[in-house]
Amino acid sequence: MLEQLEQFKTQADKAITSANTLQELRDVEVHFLGRRGKLALLLQQLRDLPQEERPAAGARANELKKDLIAALAHRAESLKGGTPASTSHVLDITWPGERMPYGHIHPLTRFLRLVTSIFSSMGFEIIEGPEVESTKYNFDLLNIPKDHPARDVWDTFFVRSPEGVKSAEGDLVLRTHTSPMQVRAMETRTPPVRFIVPGRVYRHEATDASHEAMFYQCEGLVIDRGIRVTDLLGTLKIFLQTLFEKKVKIRVRPEFYPFVEPGLDIDMSCLLCDGKGCPACKQSGWMEMMGSGMVHPKVLTNMGVDPKVYSGFAFGLGIDRLMMLYFGIDDVRLSYQSDMRFLEQF
Ligand SMILES: [Zn+2]
């Protein structure tokens, strides 16, 4: 029996080496390892062996099977790589090298760069700020009082503060918006100013298709003499039209934000149906774009700017949501999952 098994191995090895296509290799596999293949027949004969010979023969048969499977896989690999059998052991320096995969910029970063380049072309300065912020800048100076629900522990990630920081600027939080940079930036600037602050912000959110605990915002601030609501509307309309390369209408709804007065939500005519109504805009013809408003006089004062002389507007873009609209993505979580099947589509 052992002799038969060795014969089987020699035949199988020979057949594998001489298989020159994957189909031929598949036939070899069926012939030797298939349900009615040679090995199966040999295993049937095991039963007829004397009791004492069975274990050794059984063990050898299993070993052969493993070797064969490995040899088949190895041969399949080299056939896929296109290496002809006769030269598989020869170094052929003319053979093309393995192509290294090219990486590319994450769609979110790509979109963020597009947004900043549009504002940059309108004369906006691009600035960044700390992601760990003090409650003084994240809330107090933005006219968000102590009893405001935004300061609730359920909405905000509080961070354990090092000694000393707490007394000066309050507790530390992962910033809940990019607005703290409005005040920080104004500490070293005097009007007129025009800047945007793109960056990551954090909320204590249950994650779903349209909510993430971490996402990107882009804050904008303009302060000068005689800035009016129409300047705000004009700037944002130009931005949206440049971004989507399309004429759009905008609509304004009153909204309360503590750091602006009046506060405005900006809607844009639906990109898909041009305002006629479709499932994407829930038949309303409009899409919610961003919050904005005229900077609250108290916030201007906190910035060291005289509200009797200067006025300004501010706005906050949800970069993730805009990006989803721009690329036609339906789940915000995809941006943060590093799933190559998603990323390779850009
Ligand atoms: Zn629509």
- CA–centroid distance, residue 268 to ligand 1 (Å): 10
Torsions phi, psi for 44 (to 5 deg): -60, -40
- CA separation for the pair 318, 334 (Å, rounded): 16
The low-confidence residues of the chain, meaning pLDDT below 70, are 82-89, 150, 153-154, 163-168, 210
- 3 state SS of 237: helix
Q: Would you call 159 a catalytic residue per the annotation?
A: no
Q: Would you call 260 a catalytic residue per the annotation?
A: yes
- CA–centroid distance, residue 78 to ligand 1 (Å): 53
pLDDT at residue 203 in the model: 86
- Yes or no: say if 221 and 231 are a contact pair by the CB < 8 Å rule: no
DSSP 3-state percent helix, strand, coil across the chain (nearest 5): 45, 20, 35
Tokens found for residue 290: 């961003």
pLDDT at residue 111 in the model: 93
- Yes or no: say if 50 and 2 are a contact pair by the CB < 8 Å rule: no
pLDDT at residue 327 in the model: 87
pLDDT at residue 25 in the model: 86
CA distances from 276 to 205, 233, 237, 280, 283 (A): 33, 22, 19, 11, 7
Q: What is the pTM of this model?
A: 0.66
The dihedral sign for the CA sequence 85, 91, 96, 97: positive
Q: Would you call 160 a catalytic residue per the annotation?
A: no
Torsions phi, psi for 344 (to 5 deg): -75, -5
- CA separation for the pair 255, 240 (Å, rounded): 20
The total number of residues shown for the chain amounts to 346
- CA separation for the pair 143, 154 (Å, rounded): 20
> Of these residues, 28, 197, 314, 332, which one is catalytic?
314
- Yes or no: say if 124 and 220 are a contact pair by the CB < 8 Å rule: yes
In order, the DSSP letters of 15-64 are HHHH--SHHHHHHHHHHHHSTTSHHHHHHHHHTTS-GGGHHHHHHHHHHH
- CA separation for the pair 187, 302 (Å, rounded): 9
- Yes or no: say if 229 and 293 are a contact pair by the CB < 8 Å rule: no
- CA separation for the pair 330, 322 (Å, rounded): 11
**CB-count exposure of residue 134 (10 Å: 0-12, 13-18, 19+):** buried
Q: Would you call 154 a catalytic residue per the annotation?
A: yes
- CA–centroid distance, residue 287 to ligand 1 (Å): 8
- Yes or no: say if 135 and 171 are a contact pair by the CB < 8 Å rule: yes
- CA–centroid distance, residue 160 to ligand 1 (Å): 45
Beta strands of the chain (E only): which ranges?
125-126, 132-134, 158-159, 172-174, 193-202, 214-224, 250-254, 260-269, 286-295, 311-318
- CA separation for the pair 193, 94 (Å, rounded): 61
Q: Which residues surround ligand 1, an ion (CB under 5 A)?
A: 270, 272-273, 278, 280-281
**Helix pair angle (229-244, 319-327), 10° resolution:** 40
* Domains contained in the chain, CATH given: 2-87 (no CATH), 107-343 (3.30.930.10)
- CA–centroid distance, residue 246 to ligand 1 (Å): 14
- CA–centroid distance, residue 324 to ligand 1 (Å): 15
Q: Would you call 229 a catalytic residue per the annotation?
A: no
Match 């320096």 to its residue by tokens.
Answer: 93
- CA separation for the pair 83, 74 (Å, rounded): 12
- CA separation for the pair 327, 337 (Å, rounded): 17
